[in-house]
Amino acid sequence: MSFRKIAGAIAVAGALVAGGAMSGQAATLDDVKAAGTLKCGINTGLPGFAYTDDAGNWTGFDVAYCRAMAAAVLGDANAISFVNLTGKTRFPALASGEIDVLSRNTTWTFSRDVDLGFTFIGVSYYDGQGFIGRTALGIGSATELDGASVCIQTGTTTELNLADFFRVNGISYEPVPIETNAEARAAYEAERCDVYTTDASGLAATRTTFEDPSQHMVFPEIVSKEPLGPLVRQGDDQWADIARWTLNALITAEELGVTQANVAEMANGTDHPEINRMLGSEGSLGEMLGLDAQWAVRAIAAEGNYAEIFDRYIGKDSPLALGRGLNALYTDGGILYSPPFR
């Protein structure tokens, strides 16, 4: 009995200490408001996801999320200081507080979520690792790659998936790991390796830059699950909630037909209760988040709903022309699904 009491006391003490530590950190929202800008970590440059437009402004699928969040929190979609991060520098930057949120096509994995002390707030893009090879190789499947040389861009989970795939299929390969996409592509184009592997979205982006894209094919195998999404530091639940529901608002907006064009009008009230709750004309969801009632209106007005952002930067209206695939709404055969606003 006494042992239980002691254990209970320790548990309570532990909870108190943990609570104390958390309250010490739960200030990201205040910090961001005080600074007046959202520090958003993005890629150093990846077509479709984060790149500079003709005017030199950062834009893209990952950047659009930063803008939606800045609009929701600060009321200004441009109140962002972008921090360009490599695969190596992204985690220390987030852990140290150099950035408030990381939106840099980062795969949600167990160890990153648990061991590195981050909180993934959702999935903005369901990706998977694939292979691109020359049609002249005359093979139709990645399982026929026994003995091939494989170019890899390092600094991602790619190397592990590749090793797992070849080990599971009992075939051998020569890895050629290269740090940057540009050099890895050069090696592939010079036929230093037979195939190039990275996330399927990246392959589609890379394929468009080849001299004759029709000579290259993306193999049907997707060898890994790569749920890409934004993440924040662990320990500040309020901030994680804001980040999570900003993403959910974009997805729900698509589901309910709220667009960049009609969001202002719909904010005045509609006959759909969930739209009204999300856009603040009913209930007080915004206050619960520590924001105002109009937060989601601004988030959607920044770059549009999920479908608009997808189509503009990586989907049918972009050079990448990626299909929605898994990233279609669950009502359209995909797995994109937001919890309800109520």
Partner 1 sequence: MSKKAAPGGSGGFDISRAWTDERARGVIFQLLLVLGLALLAAFIVSNTITNLREAGLSSGYGFLFDTSAFDINQRLVEYSSTSTYGQAFVVGALNTILVAVMGVVTATVIGFVAGVLRLSNNFLVSRIVAAWVEFTRNVPVLLQIIFWWLIMLALPRVRDSISFGDAAFLNNRGIFLPAPIFEDGSAIVLALILVGVVATVAVRYWARKRQDATGRTFPVGWAGLGLIVGVPLIVYFAVGQPLDFDIPEKKKFNLKGGFNVTPELVALWLALSTYTGAFISEIVRAGILSVSKGQTEAAGALGLRRGLTMRKIILPQALRVIIPPMTSQYLNLTKNSSLAVAIGYQDIVSIGDTILNQSGQALEVISLYMAFYLVLSLLTSAFMNWYNKRIALVER
Q: What is the binding site for partner 1 (CB under 8 A)?
A: 21, 24-25, 87-88, 91-92, 95-96, 111-112, 115-117, 137, 145-149, 154-157, 159-160, 162-164, 166-167, 173-180, 183-184, 186-187, 190-194, 233-235
Q: Name the amino acid, one letter, at 59.
A: T
Tokens read off for 225: 């699950």
Q: Between 126 and 173, whose beta carbon lies closer to partner 1?
A: 173
Measured from the CB of residue 150, what is the shortest distance to partner 1 in angstroms?
Answer: 9
Strands (E), 212-258: 216-218, 226-233
Tokens read off for 10: 């320790």
How far apart (Å, rounded) are the C-alpha atoms in residues 34 and 293? 20
Q: Between 149 and 259, whose beta carbon lies closer to partner 1?
A: 149
**In the 3-class helix/strand/coil scheme, how is 58-120 assigned residue by residue?**
EECHHHHHHHHHHHHHHCCCCCEEEEEECCCCHHHHHHCCCCCEEEEEEECCHHHHHCCCEEE
Measured from the CB of residue 204, what is the shortest distance to partner 1 in angstroms?
Answer: 23
Q: Between 72 and 193, whose beta carbon lies closer to partner 1?
A: 193
Measured from the CB of residue 342, what is the shortest distance to partner 1 in angstroms?
Answer: 32
Query: Which residues make beta-bridge pairs with 251?
Result: none
Name 60's Cβ contacts closer than 8 Å, sequence gap at least 6: 42, 46, 48, 49, 50, 51, 313
Measured from the CB of residue 218, what is the shortest distance to partner 1 in angstroms?
Answer: 18
Contact, 166 vs 256, CB < 8 A?
A: no
Measured from the CB of residue 22, what is the shortest distance to partner 1 in angstroms?
Answer: 10
Measured from the CB of residue 145, what is the shortest distance to partner 1 in angstroms?
Answer: 7
**Cα-based torsion angle of the residue sequence 86, 92, 95, 98 in order, rounded to the nearest 10 degrees:** -70
Measured from the CB of residue 144, what is the shortest distance to partner 1 in angstroms?
Answer: 8
Measured from the CB of residue 207, what is the shortest distance to partner 1 in angstroms?
Answer: 20
Q: What is the DSSP string of 149-163?
A: EEEEESSSTHHHHHH
How far apart (Å, rounded) are the C-alpha atoms in residues 194 and 329? 36
Q: Between 9 and 186, whose beta carbon lies closer to partner 1?
A: 186
How far apart (Å, rounded) are the C-alpha atoms in residues 225 and 220? 14
DSSP helix, strand, coil percent of the chain (3-state; round to 5): 45, 20, 35
Measured from the CB of residue 10, what is the shortest distance to partner 1 in angstroms?
Answer: 19
Q: Between 55 and 136, whose beta carbon lies closer to partner 1?
A: 136
**Beta-carbon neighbour count of residue 110 at 10 Å?**
7
Q: Between 56 and 138, whose beta carbon lies closer to partner 1?
A: 138
Q: Between 150 and 203, whose beta carbon lies closer to partner 1?
A: 150
Q: Between 182 and 321, whose beta carbon lies closer to partner 1?
A: 182
Give CB contacts under 8 A, 24+ apart, made by 181-186. 181/46, 181/153, 181/206, 184/151, 184/152, 184/153, 185/209
Q: Between 67 and 90, whose beta carbon lies closer to partner 1?
A: 90
